[in-house]
Amino acid sequence: MGDVSPDSSLAETFGSFGPGACLAFPLSDVVNASAIHIGRDTLIGKYATLSVGYGPTQAVLPERGLRVGERCVLGARITITAHESIEIGDDVWFGQDVFVSDASHGYTDPELPVGLQFGTHQPVSIGSGTWVGHGAMILPGTTIGRNVVVAAGSVVRGDVPDHAVVGGVPARLIRRLDADGTWSRVAGDAPTLTS
Amino acid found at 128:
S
Q: Are 96 and 132 in contact (CB under 8 A)?
A: no
Closest CA to 150 of 2, 138, 74, 141: 138
Active-site residue flag, 37: no
Active-site residue, selected from the candidate residues 37, 83, 105, 121 = 105
Those residues with Cβ within 8 angstroms of residue 53's Cβ, 6 or more apart along the chain or in another chain:
31, 32, 35, 61, 65, 82, 83
Count of CB atoms situated within 10 Å of the CB of 91: 19
The residues carrying an active-site annotation are 105
